[in-house]
Structure 1
Amino acid sequence: MRSAPDILDSILAHRPVSTILETLWTGGYQAFLAGGAVRDALLGIAPVDVDILTNALPEDLARLFAGHDPKYVGKSFAVTLVNKVEVATCRPADKKAVEAGLVFPATDLGRRDLTINSMAWDPETRTLADPFGGQTDIENGTIRFTRDPFDRIEEDPVRMVRACRFAARFGFKIEPDAFDAIRAQAYKITVQGAADRIQREIVKAMAMDKPSHFFNLLHDTGLLVHILPSLDRCYDLDGGPHHGETVFEHNLLVGDALPASMPILRLAGFLHDTGKKDALEIKEGRNTFPGHQKCTRAMMNDLERLRFSKKDMDYIYALVRGHMRPLKADTSAKAVRRLLAMLDDLNLSYQDFLRMRIADKKGNLNPVKKPYSLGDIRLRLGKILDALNAQTPFNVNSLDITGSAIQQILDLPQGPAIGKVKALLFEQVLDDPSLNTKQTLEDLVRKMDRNTFTDSNGKAIN
């Protein structure tokens, strides 16, 4: 494994970074590599993002880098983008920092969230500024707030979620004082204006090996009930006779089983059975959840509150609504066609449907239930591909008949009645795809009773 200094030195090989540092030093300013880049280097990880910390003000940066189209993007603190590199201006020292005699960069590092993120590397002297013990916390596998945890949370409640994410990401333990502070302040995560940032923390967590650790920490700290109450309420809900785990555990197992490269699909896995709380019925002393895939309101309310895009919400909704559709070894060709028609209606690919089905099957601790074997998966995929290769229409717009032809044959005006005729034809074609020819469909329309689509006055029924 490369040493942290070697990793940090390699960052300087990137011309934008070295140019920015040299320009700042030449201008008489201090400049350090800070935050996540230093943390990752100490963990032996090549940093993805590079942040530069300086005592230059935004107006100084605008002047120094006038030819590089600098963009001021700071919100909670001053950040200027220079050639796509974030250059942060040090935050003013707070009263406690002044009383403690801290100087830059420690004054800025002391305002950061966690000790592992509160270190800076001086590329000139190749020395580490670590005033709060971040390196020791990395060595000990500890997540700890920088200085007073209550002060850090008061400044930004989202830091509680970040503490859980970093603990889950690196397999660290949250230090007891930090854990207790989060438990005491968890209610503050409902602060207005934080939804977008909480959403980003959730999506970032989906890239972990096992995001379930993140959700477990959110529950244990009392944060989950404020962030995703639809999931939190499943914590002690027995999964019923077909499962060897609670509904909460099942959701986490399924989410972990989905690919990290598809974060929104994975999030759907963590939420796919949250409707079981609303669908719960007790029969013969055991929990059952009939139609739970239709109970999506609580989940969708959570996603809307967290400001997920309509595209992402529609996708998650489709995955949840479709995940219970059976696809077995003995599923008939007709049933497969109906499955594909449902997926078409949900705007959901068969690939993502299968991914969810495979993960759902895998996420079960009942010893009688077994995950799909490779042969099981190939068999089901084959059934779908056979239906697709047969060029079966999977929506009414694929019927080989026009609306104007239906109008002419039945002497109907344009309107909803035409759609009803198409729906009837589509049902017949799903049963027998060979019917989908222009001549056959027109013959079927001629056999229909026009009065079915008109009222007593001969007008089309809307």
Structure 2
Amino acid sequence: MSFVTDILDTIQERSPVFPILETLWAAGFQAFLAGGAVRDALLGTAPADVDILTNALPEDLARLFAGQDTEYVGKSFAVTLVNKVEVATCRPADKEAVAAGLVFPATDLGRRDLTINSMAWDPETRTLADPFGGQKDIEAKVIRFTRDPFDRIQEDPVRMVRACRFAAGFGFEIEADSFNAIRACAHKITAQGTADRIQREIVKSMGMDKPSGFFNLLHDTGLLALILPSLDRCSDMDGGPHHGETVFEHNLLVGDALPASMPILRLAGFLHDTGKVDALEIKDGRNTFPGHQKCTRAMMADLGRLRFSGKDMDYIHALVRGHMRPLKSDTSPKAVRRLLAMLDNLNLSYRDFLRMRIADKKGNLNPVKKPYTLGDIRLRLGKILDALNEQTPFNVNGLDISGREIQDILGLPQGPAIGKVKALLFDQVLEDPSLNQKKTLEELVRQMDQNCFTDSNGKVIK
């Protein structure tokens, strides 16, 4: 336990935790470091967050820390932020705890989700309160619900998702009784009010080394079919002649290959081929998926139900819609410009497009298919940078001619016809960037057949 003492002592010395503890002790209250801080210390890592568990009531905390930065933020149980530190008031002991003769802090720890999160450290006596075997489970690399798993799940169904996240993140196994309880209670995950919190668990999982373990556990427990059915339905679907893995496995490989520092990009990787289920066609006895990047309805429904922001949903949608656009060693400059125009239309950076393409190429178990080499990546990046250095406009607003100037030349009123002219000009400029000069564009406008913008009676199309 010496290394645990060292880690937790360091926390006290370098954070506002110790003054809070001293204030509580001086007032006659008990106070412990609890939950994740103790768990992480036992795992040998410095905790990211440090929480305090106390028998002081919220009104006691308001009085003791009057004049300091305090805020009551409790929802499901009483939590007060004191100088940005979470101070949780112990929950009332339940009948089972009373019958078992438990006293504080065990009465509160027994209501927590997992045994590895149900420990408390007493900085005064330097002793560990571990009434439910959390330390032993860490040593055995086991995830187990605290006391009765059905009771813990009934109190909060999102704990099932958390169990999968912790197991995948630490490389632990979910203990048999806890695993079976999740399978039996998976349907409860759709309870009202859980969507935002499930979303947060998914986003947190993106920071793992390999979030695929998390999704595999969600699938094995039956949770994924209720949380992300668009992904779950890809399991056991053959990936077709170009892949050596199922569609589900391919999604997981691609997600793992994307950076942990970009969670929404990474999530897009885990979902990027979910449209293959809707696009499936059988050709010569093999699965093919023409236009699958356009089949986004199921994926977007899942993201909406999980209450992802409109910004995140648009970003994921753009990545999925654009990920099949080819960029090869022999791609012509014209095709690269059209690629960049597509990315501009999707509001997607070429960097994120390349990240997805690189991961998509890597996530393939077909021995014939090889990931990009560093040289391959440099070649493709060079093509993009060459196109950008040409200063080609990648949308109609970059044309060196305005809508008003087009109106004056053609004698047309403002309306859809002007937009059609700009689109035609833009298409020509993508073919030849040197055309994007005002005099050249004006001459191209004069050469246009005005019949393109009028009906059979000579009236302008509106």
TM, length-normalised to structure 2: 0.99
**Deviations 1:294-331 (CA, angstroms, capped at 9, x unpaired):** 00000000000000001100000010000000000000
TM-fit CA distance, 1:455: 2.7
Q: CA deviation at 1:68?
A: 1.0
Identical-pair percentage: 85
1:47–1:449 CA distance, 2 compared to 1 (3 A):
same
- Match of residue 121 from structure 1: 121
**Which residue type is aligned with residue 123 of structure 1?**
P
For residues 230-277 of structure 1, give each alpha carbon's deviation from its aligned partner in whole angstroms, at most 9, with x where no partner exists.
000000100000000000000000000000000000000000000000
Quick one: which amino acid aligns to residue 283 of structure 1?
A: K
Match of residue 171 from structure 1? 171
Matches within 5 A, 1:85-124: 85-124=85-124
| 2:69–2:84 Cα contact (<8 Å) kept | no
In the TM superposition, what are the counterparts of 1:61-210 in structure 2 within 5 Å?
61-210=61-210
Q: Tell me how far apart the structure 2 counterparts of residues 437 and 385 of structure 1 sit (CA, whole Å).
A: 21
Give secondary structure in 2 for the equivalent of 1:369: coil
How far is 1:114 from its partner? 0.1
Partner of 2:295: 295
Q: How far, CA to CA, are the matches of 2:81 and 2:389 in structure 1?
A: 51
Structure 1 residue matching 2:13: 3-state secondary structure: coil
- Quote the Cα distance in structure 2 between the aligned partners of 1:454 and 1:306: 48
Is the Cα–Cα contact under 8 Å of residues 33 and 123 in structure 2 kept in the other structure? Answer: yes
Deviation by residue 1:15-37 (Cα, 9 ceiling, x = unmatched):
41111111111111110000000
1:315-326 matches, cutoff 5 A: 315-326=315-326
Q: Which residue of 1 aligns with 2:49?
A: 49
Given that 2:196 and 2:306 are in contact with CA atoms closer than 8 Å, whether structure 1 keeps it comes out as yes
How big is each residue's C-alpha offset from its partner over 1:312-365, in whole Å with a ceiling of 9 and x where there is no partner? 000000100000000000000000000000000000000000000000000000
In structure 1, the partner of 2:334 is: 334
Partner of 1:391: 391
1:155-193 CA distance string (max 9 Å, x none): 000000000000000000000000000000001000111
Q: Which amino acid aligns with 1:114?
A: L
Structure 1 residue 459: Cα displacement: 3.6
Q: 1:364/1:52 Cα in 2 relative to 1: closer, same or farther (>3 Å)?
A: same
In the alignment, does 2:226 pair up with 1:226?
A: yes
- d(CA) in 2 for partners of 1:387 and 1:15? 51
Q: Structure 1 CA distance, aligned partners of 2:120 and 2:58? A: 20
Aligned runs of 1:328-367 on 2, under 5 Å? 328-367=328-367
Give the structure 2 partner of residue 6 of structure 1. Answer: 6
Q: How far, CA to CA, are the matches of 1:404 and 1:459 in structure 2? A: 19
Q: Which residue is equivalent to 1:306?
A: 306
Asked if residue 35 in structure 1 is aligned to residue 18 in structure 2, the reply is no
Residue 217, structure 1, aligned to residue 195, structure 2 = no
Contact 1:118 1:130 in 2 (8 A): yes
Q: In the TM superposition, what is the alpha-carbon distance from 1:454 to its structure 2 partner?
A: 2.3
Supply the RMSD in Å over aligned alpha carbons.
1.0
Divergent runs of 4+, >6 A: none
2:263 is matched with which residue?
263
Q: What's the TM-score, normalizing by structure 1?
A: 0.99
**Are the aligned partners of 2:319 and 2:353 in contact in 1 as well (CA < 8 Å)?**
yes
Cα distance in 2, alignment partners of residues 164 and 366 from structure 1:
29
Letter in 2 for 1:410: L
In structure 2, the residue corresponding to 1:168 is in which secondary structure? helix
Give unmatched runs, 5+ long, in structure 2: none
Could you tell me which amino acid in structure 2 is paired with residue 323 of structure 1?
A: H
Name the stretch that deviates more: 82-91 or 10-19: 10-19
Alpha-carbon distance in 1 for matches of 2:422, 2:104: 73
Q: For 1:245 and 1:233, how far apart are their aligned partners in 2?
A: 15
What is the letter of the counterpart of residue 418 of structure 1? Answer: I
1:108-148: CA deviations, max 9, x gaps? 00000000000000000000000000000000000000000
Counterpart of 2:237? 237
Shift, 1:67, TM fit? 1.2
SS across alignment from 1:405: helix
CA distance in 2, matches of 1:176, 1:8: 32
Shift of residue 456 of structure 1?
A: 4.0
Q: Which amino acid aligns with 1:136?
A: K
Aligned-partner SS, 1:423 = helix
SS at match of 2:80: strand
What letter corresponds to residue 119 of structure 1 in structure 2?
Answer: M
Residue 455 of structure 1 aligns with an amino acid whose one-letter code is D
1:409 and 2:409 correspond = yes
Distance 1:97 1:415 in 2: 74
CA deviation profile, 1:194-225 (whole Å, cap 9, x unmatched): 00000000000000000000000000000000
Deviations 1:41-89 (A, max 9, x none): 0000100001000011111111111111310111111111111110001
After superposition, the C-alpha distances for 1:381-418 in whole angstroms (9 at most, x for unaligned) are: 00000000110110000000011000111111112221
**Mapped partners of 1:2, 1:324: distance in 2:** 54
The number of aligned residues is: 462
Aligned partners of 2:47 and 2:148: how far apart in 1?
28
Q: Which amino acid aligns with 2:127?
A: T
Distance 1:321 1:414 in 2: 32
3-state secondary structure, aligned to 2:45: coil
For 2:382, the equivalent position in structure 1 comes to 382
Bigger CA drift: 202-211 or 6-15?
A: 6-15
The separation in 2 between residues aligned to 1:372 and 1:15, in whole angstroms, is 46
- Deviation track 1:414-456 (CA, whole Å, cap 9, x = no partner) reads 1222111100100000001110000000101111122321234
1:98 partner letter: V
Matched to 2:19, the amino acid is T
Structure 2 counterpart of 1:450 = 450
Q: Report the Cα distance in structure 1 between the residues aligned to 2:266 and 2:259, rounded to whole angstroms.
A: 7
CA contact under 8 A between 1:2 and 1:44: conserved in structure 2? no
What secondary structure sits across from 1:319 in the alignment? Answer: helix
Alpha-carbon distance in 1 for matches of 2:457, 2:185: 68
* Code of the aligned partner of 2:91: R
The secondary structure found in structure 2 opposite 1:422 is: helix
